[in-house]
Structure formats: C-alpha cells, structure tokens
Amino acid sequence: MRLLTLAFCAALPLAGLGAVPAHAVTCTKSVPNDLNNDGKADVVLGQPAARIDGVSKAGAVDVRITGGSAFRLTGPGMGLGTTTAGEFGSSVAIGFLDNDCYADLLMGAPRAAGGRAIFVPGAATGIDISKGKIIESDNPAGTDRFGSAVAIGRGIAFVGAPYHDPNGVKNAGRVYTFAVGSDDAVTAKGFLQQGTAPMQDSPEAGDHFGAVLAYRGDTLATGAPQENIVTATDAGAVHLTTFKQDEPATPQTDIFLNQDVSGVPGKAEKGDAFGAAIDDQVRTIGVPGEDVKSAVDAGGIITQVQTMTTTSPALRWVSQSSKGIPGKSKTGDRFGSALASGTAFLCPGKIGIAVGIPGKTVDTKVGAGMVTVVSESSSDCGTTAGRQITQNTSSIAGKVGKGNAFGTAFAVVPGATTAADGLLGGAPGSNLDDKRDTGRVANVLNLPKTSLRSLGGPDTDTFYGSVTTQR
C-alpha cells in the first residue's frame, strides 16, 4: 500500500506499523461532524456522477461548514487526474483521525484505477486541503473498487474494497485499515476479510464484503449484501466486529449475522440484500430486497442491532406491513434502501429511525420516493409507531416527481436543536432548472424548510443527493 500527497502527487512509502497514537486531546469535541470545531455539525455531500472538465463521473464532494464557508472538492482537484471517471465522492465519512480538535474527512473514489481513498484533515477554516493524502490499497491498478465504502472509528480509517479477490476468490471483498498520526501521516495497519481470524464465514465469489461500512463505539458493521446463504443467492449478511481497546485496528471478536441466524427475524431468501444499508450508529440493518407476501422487493428493516452484542438479543422486524407503520408494502418500494438514526426523529428524547423508500410510487408518480420514520423499539413513542414524509409534505422543499427517488440517502445533523438531531434526505432524480436528474438534498426533520443544490450548479445526470455523510 502507498500514499500520495495531494500537494505533490508523488509516491511516498508508508511508515512502519507502529502503535496507533493516543487520541486523548485536551479540547472540547462537542458534536460529531464538526470540521472546524465551532460546536456546530457540518454537512458533506458526495456527487460521484458529477461531470468535471467535461469528464462524466469524475466526481465531486461538497463541504458545507455550518454558518461559514463552502468548499467544492473535485476528483481532478484531489489529484486523481483530469481524464479519469473515478466516481470521487462515492463514499464520505467525517470523524476524528489525526489526534486534534477538528473532525476529518475520508472520501472514496472507487473507479480511479483500482480505487482510491482521500483523507483531508479538518481545520479552523473548515478543511486543510494542503495536508490531504491519497490512499491506495496493495492492488492499486486492479479492479477492487477500493473506496466504495469508508468509515472512521477511534482514529482508524476503514476502507472497503468489495471487488477484491482474496486468495483468488472473485469479488469476495476486503476491508483495509489505516491509522493517521498527529502529523497527518497515514499508516497501513492491515485488513479484514472473511475466513481470516477472528472474522467468521469464508470468502465466496460475489460476496462483496466491504460494500457497506458503519462504525459506532468499538464496533465496525460490514455489509456483504450479495452473500449467498446456503442456496439463497444474494441473501446478504453483516459482520459486527469489535476491536481491542489498546489496538483499535486489531479485530477482537466477530458476529456473523444473516436471516438464517437464530434470533434474527425472517429467513434468508434470494435477493434480500440483507446489509445493503446500515445506519451510521449501527442500530438498524436494511433488507430492501425482502419480499413481503406477494410484494416483490418491498423491503424491510431490522432494528435494535446493538443488542446482538449482549446475552439477550431483542431484534425487531419492521416493514410497511407491520402493525402501526403507515403505508403498505408494494412491489419495488425497496423500504430500507437507506437508513439514519437520531434523537427526536419521531418523538422527544428517543432515538428514531429514518427509512428511505426510493422506489415508492406517490400520487401516481412512479419512483417518487418517500421517507418513513419509525421508533427503534416498539414501545419508545407510545401509540405513535411511524410517520410518512414525501416531497409533498408541507415542511419539505420541492415537490413529488416521477423518478425523484426521495430517500435514496441521508445525512444526520447532530444537535440541530438543543433537543433534536436534524436530517437531510437526497432526491437524486429531481429535475432543477429544466435539467434532468440534477438532484437535490432536502431538509427532512428538525431543520428549516429549504433544500441544497450542488455547489457546481445543476447539471444533467449528476444525481445530487445520492451520497451523504457518515459520522
């Protein structure tokens, strides 16, 4: 593995595999997602389909500092070349990596050769591009799609390469780990793959382990949505992996989840895509390909995932056909395609789960999309089990449109008010200024009625709102 500095674009060898520096900085880190440490959460939106300098899908990332500056990062501007359709911005995460008071950015460009990840540190002005690093895997010229997913946890950068071929097993997948020092130097720490202790299961062709990543506490959730479970092809699976306290890049235990595991609701079936979405607090797993009775790909979710690490798991199945949940399961809804969790999403003082339903038909508009908010536990919000939100909801900017795919992706704004987190939702198929599929990002919960456009301006087929921030 190697790194390239953004300033010089020259190959630099990685340092030796030393101990990860302690992250006990004496400063106030009041909210997650705070790049400039001003006490306010910032928003980062990926746009992998963005056309840059005439190159389709070169990719871009919009960085919006709350109450401050806005930055538009592009694939070519990040050193990925001027002719590469690298899909920069396919994944984005904010978290603390380099032992200071500013949250940092980790972004993926999985189609830049064998894939790249880019680290950019936070700073008082928002971000410091001059200290950015391009991160490569040990197969930089391959077809691994390194950077398809990224996550940050306890000073470690996790980068998914779901098309990696471990031991020659085609597209089984791998997750790489990197540490970032206080000098912003990046060090390769190793990798996770199925069948390598303590990781359970074994690599199989087409698993795509590492296609989805989320981190909370000491646990990394890794989705393998095309995992075959016995004869059920593409049924999907999720690994919940914990890491050592004194070695946060060293895996310690692993739980292998699928719908044939005791205590997990449902049954592993062809095309379920269990693990295609995981919320950024590792509370909920999406199963968007689940058939609900005769409704094909209607979708569902499993909540209270964190209880799997206890002796008394209490997982809960929710679909649009569940008691009290508004709406009805319909073919092609794909309920659970995107997930987010936050305080007061549904009722005061409780964690709510926002569920994306991008395939939902609304007012005869096919694929208009919808967001349904549910409680994490069935008893959390009393008789209020759920709430539906569309682009026709009075508090939402924009309007319902065919193919808008509202609910494709979410970004949480922690501490949007003193008692609630905010939520933004992508509608990447929205048309703006008479241009097709430009996309927009709407404020959905606990935020003023407005929406965001690409900082690069509306452009046809760029699908703004298809990728949002992990925290």
| CA–centroid distance for 44 within its chain | 12
Tokens representing 62 are 């919009």
Model confidence band, residue 398 (pLDDT cutoffs 50, 70, 90): confident
Residue 19 confidence (pLDDT): 33
Indicate the range of 24-33, 41-50, 174-183, 452-461 predicted with least confidence. Answer: 24-33
Residue 25 confidence (pLDDT): 54
Residue 400: what are its φ and ψ, rounded to 5°?
-60, 135
Model confidence band, residue 458 (pLDDT cutoffs 50, 70, 90): confident
State the pTM of this model.
Answer: 0.93
Q: Which secondary structure element, helix H or strand E, spans residue 43, and what is its range? A: strand 43-47
Whether 398 and 360 have beta carbons less than 8 Å apart is answered as no
pLDDT single digits (tens) 417-429: 999 999 999 999 9
Strands 149-153 and 156-161: antiparallel
Instruction: Decide: helix, strand or coil at residue 170.
Output: coil
Check pLDDT > 90 for residue 310: no
pLDDT single digits (tens) 165-214: 999 999 999 999 999 988 899 999 999 999 999 999 999 999 999 999 99
Residue 36: what are its φ and ψ, rounded to 5°?
-110, 10
Q: Which secondary structure element, helix H or strand E, spans residue 116, and what is its range? A: strand 116-120
Among 30-44, 287-301, 454-468, the range with the most confident prediction by mean pLDDT is: 287-301
Q: How far apart are CA 264 and CA 266, in angstroms?
A: 7
Q: Which residue has the higher pLDDT, 146 or 309?
A: 146
Residue 308 confidence (pLDDT): 86
Check pLDDT > 70 for residue 387: yes
Residue 21 confidence (pLDDT): 37
What is the 8-class DSSP label of residue 183?
A: T
Residues in contact with 274: Cβ distance below 8 Å, sequence separation at least 6, in sequence order: 225, 227, 235, 236, 237, 238, 257, 258, 259, 268, 285, 287
Q: What is the 3-state secondary structure (H, E, C) of 334-395?
A: CECCEEEEEECCCCCCCEEEEEEECCCCECCECCCEEEEEEECCCCCCCCCCEEEECCCCCC
Strands 467-468 and 43-47: antiparallel
